Amino acid sequence: MAKRATEHRERGGWSALWRLGAGLRGRIATLALASFSAAMVEAVFLVLVTGLLLALTSGRDVIGPVVGREISINTALAAAAVGLTLRFVLNMFTLRQAAALSAAVRTNQRRRLAHAYLGASWSVHQQEPSGRLQELLTSFVSRVLVAVAAAIQGLTSALSVAAFLGAGLVIQPLATLAVLAFLAVLAALLGPLRGAIRRAAIRSSAADLSFATSVAELGALGREMQVFGARRAFLDRVDRLTDLATEGQRRVQILFGSLAPTYTLFSYGAVLIAVTALSLVEVDDLTTIGAVTLLMLRSLTYGQQLVSVQGTVVSSLPALEEVEETARRYESRPAPGGTVTPDEVTPLVMDDVRFSYDGSRATLQGVNLTVERGEILGIIGPSGAGKSTMAQLLLGLRDPSGGAIGVDGVALADVDRGWWTRRVSFVPQDPALFTGTVAENIRFFREGIGDTDLRIAAEQGNVLVDIMALPEGFDTHLGERGGGLSGGQRQRLSIARALAGAPSLLILDEPTSALDGHSEALIRDSIIGLRGQVTVVVIAHRMSTIDMCDRIMVVEGGRVTALGTPADLQTSSDFYRRALSNARILSSDDESEPGQADDDHPAAAVRFTT
């Protein structure tokens, strides 16, 4: 069973390699024709040179007979010179064609993989291990290119062998047939060795991908490693992964290296077979003997290249399969995108919405909510209650497992994605900045956002004063991932980014959970300033963050346990009353809800008003 599975994967791998040439078949055909022509010219050149050497040593003024004809030395010399020049021209042409073919495959592979990933849904992005896409786009695509380059060389070698054997059949069929029989036997004998190389390459590729993923994850935990004294454990884990990856590469190298000596053993045996065949037929013409021997030896040289190429391709096929399977997985789960454009983004309605990550345990169930235009809605609840999942559903990043989400009477899944993203924005708990200027980070690759829009958004986000205090204002380079800003500045810059597109709906997920009281107050002021202009949904732990909300929803255990004005909730929600009590009086006697560690932050002591 395992053997059949391996054979199936190998056939699939070779098929995937062939599919890489889709759209490039014309170039491949041109390359093949040029390679075969160059090999035929070389075969003729070798026959002529052999005849010239024998004629010169014997004092004759003609060579041959070759295929029943004699050729003068001067004609043979001129033909050999022309052939040598023509072979050089054809080889340079095939070199350029091969380089262009490899470049086209590299471009196509990277574009396909990147486009498939960027076009996939948020759930796909969230599931991908850190560093995986980078590893696929770099080292794995590089291995695919190794396979492509080897396949091109293999095509050239195979056509060269065919050309030499074809010439040999014309000159001396018996000896050539003996070599063909040898090649068939050799292919059968080397089959198990190629299978062993492939299996070792599969294990090696898996180890390399695991290594890259783990190193990327560990690299992102440098602060925690320092704080918790886990350096030794980190080093041990990296060492183990390194040893596994290295051992896999060592096995592939040994198996791959064994191809050449195995082939050499049998190829020299083939020479003996050819010589024996010639002795049996008692060939007296030295030109024929010399030409056939030289052609056979040259064909065996190309055959050795072909065997080496097969090993290279087989060892690279797992990387090609990984790229192919990953691209297909991305393409099978595209981001949502409808065609309908509603009049407004509100009312935004959740009707009996349910959601589960694993299909069995519900994260949200029975959620009913209507968000009206210009409303500021707060969502509170303990950690793990499903608040962030609700934000992703409202943004359209995930589809509900049951129920429906509507936008002004239109199903969210049917809404044109471009229309939706121009009118809806988001502020995450951990702002993601990139290496670039302040202006570039606020604009975030969106066209149509001018300098005036940037200033207005920065002022609305209460970060304009901070920006103007920077050395070059909006043109200040923030360093890698915005490392030059404080946590509060990063969060307010994230709010400015969200507001730069003048959204109609703004969703904020825990925007102040890690900020000091001053930064939290600035963000609260930003939210208050949007009242009546933008519909706002604020998800928070701290009561002080949502004291300006028109309504507040309480989510516990994936269910909505209360929804109403702050005054209504003081009488209808036990959770709300406890959270309100904690926000007003922080003492050991206060009731606390599991998962409310953020409520103990000093900023939570801000008096909650209704």
- Better-predicted residue by pLDDT, 317 or 272: 317
Q: How far is CA 425 from each of CA 287, 371, 535, 568, rounded to the nearest angstrom?
A: 82, 15, 10, 29
Strands laid side by side in the 402-407 sheet: 362-371, 348-356, 402-407, 410-411
State the average pLDDT over residues 231-239.
Answer: 82
State the average pLDDT over residues 10-27.
Answer: 71
Look up residue 326 and give its two tokens: 């990953």
State the average pLDDT over residues 323-348.
Answer: 89
SS3 state of residue 410 = strand
pTM of the model: 0.67
Per-residue model confidence (pLDDT) at position 274: 60
**Cα–Cα dist 234/222, whole Å:** 10
> pLDDT for 399-457, tens place per residue?
999 999 999 999 999 999 989 999 999 998 888 888 889 999 999 999 889 999 999 99
Look up residue 172 and give its two tokens: 């001396």
Question: Rounded to the nearest 5°, which phi and psi values hold at 460?
Answer: -65, -35
**Cα–Cα dist 420/411, whole Å:** 12
Tell the residue number behind the tokens 């290296």, with chain if given: 257
Residues 463, 489 contacting (CB under 8 angstroms):
yes
Task: Find the range with the poorest average confidence among 288-292, 305-309, 355-359.
Answer: 288-292
- Cα distance between the two ends of the chain: 70
Task: Find the range with the poorest average confidence among 105-114, 181-190, 510-519, 546-555.
Answer: 181-190
Per-residue model confidence (pLDDT) at position 172: 65
Per-residue model confidence (pLDDT) at position 380: 93
Across 47-56, 145-154, 253-262, the highest mean pLDDT is recorded for 145-154
State the average pLDDT over residues 213-219.
Answer: 73
> pLDDT for 60-99, tens place per residue?
787 766 666 788 888 888 988 998 899 899 989 988 888 8
Beta strands in 307-442 (DSSP E): 348-356, 362-371, 376-380, 402-407, 410-411, 424-427
Has residue 4 got a pLDDT over 80? no
Has residue 267 got a pLDDT over 70? no
Domains of the chain: 21-332 (1.20.1560.10), 348-430+503-605 (3.40.50.300)
Beta strands in 234-384 (DSSP E): 348-356, 362-371, 376-380
Enumerate residues 6+ apart whose C-beta is below 8 A from 250: none
Q: How far is CA 192 from each of CA 6, 189, 198, 258, rounded to the nearest angstrom?
A: 12, 7, 10, 12
- Residue (of 466, 459, 460, 524) closest to 490 by Cα position: 466
Question: Rounded to the nearest 5°, which phi and psi values hold at 64?
Answer: 110, -165
Per-residue model confidence (pLDDT) at position 596: 37
Across 146-150, 222-226, 249-253, the highest mean pLDDT is recorded for 146-150
